[in-house]
């Protein structure tokens, strides 16, 4: 049987894969195959921003990964949603756009990722952004369309006033070099509709004759000859198919599945691979290690003297909002997971923010199933920006269809525990200011009986969740535990590169979608530079 040959084979049609497919085919010089296990982004809920709540529990668009039970979070099984289908997690996320802080990227460089400091990566943020209302540091003509949340409500404006009363600065653009402060979130939307990585990058590229896109293609393994990756084998409609890459296979399957596919192919920790009967092709101790994610708590208040999303999302009010959305692309259907942002310092001596707030005038009766309360409510999501706790993601069997073991190790670090406690105390303090007095009835969760640091930590362990930002499991670097080098090539291998969230060495300060697109933008340049001749 003749094996199809391409210059590049991209594994994964998610956020990074969409960027790569666009950039690697733009010149017309290279023939590229993009493989995606999921399908086409065909649901009506994708373009409607509020539709994310319908997709987060939909197995067609979500891999529905779960963590292994861990003692530090009381052996709870925590959901780790990851997008499935062309566009990946950019189809189902809350659309919040955050660059992070310049010091984040300078810390990458200081830790060994030379060439990835903020001065190196900032041009890629500007290249990808299309944010017309931004200042001179923002991109205004890139493919990724951005907007500020347009909806305004009395309770959200009051929350901003309360933050001001607490001494917090107002910040119109937290994606300028200065992140600290409060304001309305920026989102990847235009005209009230989601702009996914598929919309921004892949859809325009699909008309090119040198790009082939295959969905329903579940990659089983990388094809290796000695220390060279020559292609991949995938399953489609019950048939195993092998394709070859004359230049490179580029892994873009994300922080969960990229290490999984490497390990299934014999690249990883020898003792793990041997225990599962997988021949070791390349020993790399860092594969699946260094897993970092944002851990968050959700504080809720019963509110009064206002109408919240809890009431607006049902009955005649919902009918009105649906009509408003389809007529004008306005109203509550344009909202994602955050309305008002807050980036704060939990200690006065800190030189930059270490915590993030997501305020929205809604509360869940069942957060897992996205069922809103019947009565009016408000939520502040609270997360530590740069957690120090690190976990792992490893395969549990040689079966490519078995989910890997996801062990985040949340709240392992004392720094993390202190930060999440101080963050929640700061949220309560701001809500207690006079600007909010007309709206607050009482605190529902964790409740006003929560007073001591031990109480706050107990609440975090009992109720905290990931906010879906896994990264680091194939981190870049120059040390012995790095999986890829500074050009994102897999250590000790030829013809194999990783360009996705797994290569990010340290957590960025905020939602990671922007950083992932930046890595893919820069990764595509590195690839094209290497094959310019």
Distance (Å) of CA 455 to CA 62, 417, 419, 448, 449: 34, 12, 14, 11, 9
d(CA 333, CA 190): 13
Nearest Cα neighbor of 336 from 234, 184, 463, 197 is 184
Nearest Cα neighbor of 291 from 79, 505, 101 is 505
Q: Could you report how far apart the first and last alpha carbons of the chain are, in Å?
A: 31
Please give the radius of gyration of the chain, using alpha carbons only, rounded to the nearest integer: 23
d(CA 44, CA 37): 20
Distance (Å) of CA 481 to CA 267, 287, 290, 293: 13, 8, 9, 19
Contact 194, 97 (CB under 8 A): no
Residue of 294, 361, 394, 469 marked catalytic: 469
Which distant-in-sequence residues (6+ apart) come within 8 Å of 274 by Cβ?
280
d(CA 492, CA 52): 40
Is residue 30 annotated as part of the catalytic site, yes or no?
Answer: no
Q: CB-side exposure of 418: number of CA atoms within 13 Å?
A: 8
Distance (Å) of CA 317 to CA 77, 176, 312, 321, 377: 36, 37, 5, 6, 16
Q: 17 in helix, strand or coil?
A: helix
Q: How many CB atoms lie within 10 A of CB 532?
A: 8
What does 433-444 look like in DSSP terms, one character per residue?
Answer: SGGGTTTEEEEE
Distance (Å) of CA 162 to CA 182, 231, 348, 382: 10, 57, 19, 17
Contact 154, 305 (CB under 8 A): no
Strand partners, 231: 223, 244
- The structure tokens 């209302």 sit at 133
Active site residue ranges: 469
């Amino acid at each position: 049987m003749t094996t199809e040959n391409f210059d590049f084979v991209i594994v994964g049609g998610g956020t990074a894969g969409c960027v790569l497919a666009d950039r690697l085919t733009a010149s017309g010089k290279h023939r590229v195959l993009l493989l995606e296990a999921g399908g086409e982004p065909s649901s009506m809920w994708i373009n409607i921003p509020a539709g994310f709540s319908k997709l987060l529990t939909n197995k067609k668009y979500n891999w529905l990964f779960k963590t292994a039970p861990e003692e530090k979070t009381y052996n709870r099984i925590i959901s780790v949603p990851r997008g499935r289908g062309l566009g990946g997690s950019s189809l189902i996320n809350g659309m919040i756009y955050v660059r992070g802080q310049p010091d984040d990227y300078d810390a990458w460089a200081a830790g060994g990722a030379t060439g990835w400091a903020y001065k190196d990566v900032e041009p890629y943020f500007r290249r990808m952004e299309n944010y017309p209302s931004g200042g001179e540091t923002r991109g205004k003509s890139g493919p990724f369309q951005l907007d500020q949340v347009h909806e305004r409500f009395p309770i959200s404006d009051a929350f901003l006033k309360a933050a001001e009363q607490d001494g917090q600065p107002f910040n119109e653009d937290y994606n300028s070099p200065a992140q600290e402060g409060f304001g309305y979130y920026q989102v990847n939307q235009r005209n009230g509709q989601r702009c996914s990585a598929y919309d921004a990058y892949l859809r325009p590229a699909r008309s090119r004759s040198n790009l082939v896109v295959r969905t329903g293609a579940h990659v089983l393994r990388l094809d290796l000859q000695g220390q060279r990756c020559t292609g991949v084998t995938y399953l489609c409609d019950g048939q195993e198919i092998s394709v070859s890459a004359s230049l490179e296979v580029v892994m873009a399957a994300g922080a969960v599945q990229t290490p999984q596919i490497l390990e299934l192919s014999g690249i990883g920790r020898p003792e793990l691979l041997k225990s599962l009967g997988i021949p070791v092709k390349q020993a790399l101790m860092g594969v699946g290690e260094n897993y970092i994610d944002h851990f968050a708590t959700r504080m809720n208040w019963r509110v009064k003297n206002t109408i919240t999303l809890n009431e607006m999302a049902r009955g005649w009010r919902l009918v009105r909002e649906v009509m408003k959305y389809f007529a004008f692309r306005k109203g509550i259907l344009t909202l994602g997971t955050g309305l008002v942002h807050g980036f704060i310092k939990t200690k006065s001596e800190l030189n930059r923010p270490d915590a993030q707030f997501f305020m929205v005038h809604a509360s869940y009766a069942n957060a897992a199933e996205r069922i809103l309360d019947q009565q009016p409510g408000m939520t502040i999501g609270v997360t530590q920006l740069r957690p120090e706790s690190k976990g792992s993601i490893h395969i549990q069997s040689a079966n490519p269809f078995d989910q890997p073991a996801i062990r985040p190790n949340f709240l392992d670090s004392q720094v993390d525990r202190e930060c999440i406690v101080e963050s929640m105390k700061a949220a309560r303090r701001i809500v207690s200011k006079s600007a909010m007095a007309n709206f607050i009835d009482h605190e529902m969760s964790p409740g006003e009986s929560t007073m001591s640091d031990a109480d706050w930590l107990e609440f975090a362990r009992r109720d905290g969740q990931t906010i879906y930002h896994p990264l680091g499991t194939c981190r870049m670097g120059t040390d012995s535990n790095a999986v890829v080098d500074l050009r994102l090539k897999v250590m000790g291998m030829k013809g194999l590169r990783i360009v996705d969230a797994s290569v990010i060495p340290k957590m960025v300060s905020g939602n990671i979608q922007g950083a992932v697109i930046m890595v893919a933008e820069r990764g595509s340049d590195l690839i094209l530079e290497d094959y310019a001749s």
